Amino acid sequence: MSAGSNGVATSTTFSAVQPENLDQSDRSVPRNLRQSGPTPVEMLISTRVRKSPFWHLSHAAGCWRATVYNRMYHPRGYVRPQDGGAMAEYEALVNHVTLWDVAVERQIRIKGPDAEAFVNRLITRDATLIRPMTGKYVILCNEDGGIINDPVLLRLSDDEFWFSISDSDLELWLRGVNVGLGMNVMIGEIDVAPLQIQGPKSEALMVEMFGEEISELPYYGMLEAKIADCNVVVSQTGFSGEKGYEIYLREATRDADALWNAVIMAGERHSLVVTAPAHHRRIAAGILSWGQDIDQHVSPFQCNLSYQVPREKSVDYVGRRALEAQRMELDAGRNPFRLIMAGLTFDGQPVVDYAPDFWLILPEDGGTPIGYITSAWFSPELDCNIALGWVPGDKATPGARLSIALPDEYAEAPGMPASGKVVDLPFRPSINPSARERGKAGPTDNAT
């Protein structure tokens, strides 16, 4: 391990001990900043973790590495490093069209006479304003106002909603909440698995598969369709910042092969590439990832999701009291949060793969850590490294200078922190002007 003059470890071989000089008293467990670095072990493929109905197809398409998301194996790499790695997948996304296996977005259905009323007690936004066959990006909070999930909410009909969930077990939470409410709804995961079609050529591909009606589909619009005898729900949504769609396959256990093969066949004429979800592009768009950038310890007011919290809503919801108390503090000019989510650019060698841990943020001249990076990647368009990270409120102003303690593989010299600064988000605008609806970390406080 090597260290800079401030004593902060910056080598790829980090200490496994929590850094004691960064205050994390506002968190319980998990504490971030494990600083354990890469863990070079083989991942065990066992029956304890589920496989997506597309898993075998992803493997056949070249998937060589995976992570675990929602207790399901999640493809995270197709192009090998020697062939360009994740940055080659980025080029396919921003120039052509890509196919992602995102069955890990488990679909939790709420159905029954009280479906709308129940959903309205769960999400911060007003569920009554979501029309059938449309969706919204929403957040659900715990009683302390911490974000426990930030799914896309799809409304299929007056009495049926699907939560397309991020990486936390929302079904158990929903069942627990309804023990107290006792509403007349059925709650449970359904046999629906989505694929994402993302990139500038996605509309042309989708029109070929589903017809011209796709061109009229608004952002967060939905339609029922059929392809290769498979029943699907199509939405114009995605996790990339590029133009994109999701295809939600009904009877996914039975029909996964048929849908996948139909998309692959149609995609040949559009230079379709099977890739992992584009975390490099979503960072550029300022889109947050639950479990990486935000979690149950984070308030929407800390991460520029205040637009998700209406100033007026006709019914109570979980976390409302805590969130309203936080807003009162902010309205009075008092910041109740020690750290704020911000966008940063920084020097050093290009970050062209997933960071294996959180990297410490230091004052401009070094010294005691004051925050940490949660997501980082190299931006070809900006020709620099970009990141989302937590910084003190007085350092969250665009233009504020900071430094980043990088592993030696990315540092300009061993043990030397990289120069960085806070910048406005997003780093690169999303293709769809409504893309903040999928979690963009942008400044706003006019929720409806």
Q: In what order do the strands lie in the sheet with 192-198?
A: 222-227, 230-235, 244-250, 192-198, 97-101, 272-274
Contacts of 2 (CB under 8 A, 6+ apart): 9, 10, 11, 408, 414, 415
Could you tell me if 240 and 290 lie in one domain? no
Could you tell me if 291 and 386 lie in one domain? yes
Could you tell me if 267 and 291 lie in one domain? no
Residue 24 within any structural domain of the chain = no
Residue 350 within any structural domain of the chain = yes
E strand or H helix that includes residue 359: strand 359-363
Could you tell me if 266 and 229 lie in one domain? yes
Could you tell me if 290 and 388 lie in one domain? yes
Could you tell me if 289 and 248 lie in one domain? no
Residue 206 within any structural domain of the chain = yes
Contacts of 271 (CB under 8 A, 6+ apart): 92, 96, 97, 201
Enter the pTM of the model: 0.91
Closest by Cα among 395, 392, 419 to 406: 419
Judge whether 246 is annotated as a binding position: yes
Q: Which residues of 7-29 are buried (b: 16+ CB within 10 A; e: fewer)?
A: ebbbbbebeeeebeebebeebee
Q: Which residue has the higher pLDDT, 121 or 407?
A: 121
For residue 349, how far is the Cα from the chain centroid?
25
The domain tally of the chain equals: 2
Residue 311 within any structural domain of the chain = no
The model's pLDDT over 91-129, given as tens digits with 9 standing for 90+, comes to: 999 999 999 999 999 999 999 999 999 999 999 999 999
Collapsing DSSP states into helix, strand and coil, what is residue 100?
strand
Residue 371 CB-half CA count within 13 A: 31
The model's pLDDT over 33-52, given as tens digits with 9 standing for 90+, comes to: 655 667 778 888 889 999 99
Lowest mean pLDDT among 39-43, 140-144, 294-298: 39-43
Contacts of 361 (CB under 8 A, 6+ apart): 344, 369, 370, 371, 372, 373, 389, 390, 391, 402, 403, 404, 405, 420
Q: What phi, psi does 161 have (nearest 5°)?
A: -125, 145
- Cβ-contact 390, 338 below 8 angstroms: no
